[in-house]
Amino acid sequence: MTRQELCQKAVEMLSRAYVPYSHFPVGAALECSDGTVFTGCNVENAAYGPSNCAERTAVFKAVSEGYRSFRRIAITADSDAFCPPCGVCRQVLQEFAPDLEVILVNRRGETKRLTLRELLPYSFGSSNLEEK
């Protein structure tokens, strides 16, 4: 899958977002190492805490289907600004893919490419839990 196709899949998820409170739809498309793609959108809840971000929706769908190795993720919002993943999503992504390529897409179709390590330097991971 091309980078542009992955970004388009993320854009397509904007219309599926459930955002009656923030009115800020976010879409994500997560590409696994074997090329399989899982998409996600944000899903809000009136209690706010149970809400889920688009990135975590995509990761949880992938993991629930047995996928654990990810290559890249495209994230978009209906915004002129780029929408990077929140801290919680960064930590969830780090659990599975610390070297993940992150592609941010704004509403004009412009992209910005980063690595998860750039977004989450000095991250906490499984190596921190190893006994010394």
Catalytic residues: 55
End-to-end CA distance of the chain: 42
Starting at the edge strand found earlier in the chain, the sheet holding 37-41 runs 37-41, 26-32, 70-77, 101-105, 111-115
CA 112 – CA 132 distance, rounded (Å): 39
The residue type found at 101 is E
Contacts of 55 (CB under 8 A, 6+ apart): 26, 28, 30, 40, 73, 75, 85, 89, 92, 93
Looking at residue 83, its amino acid is: C
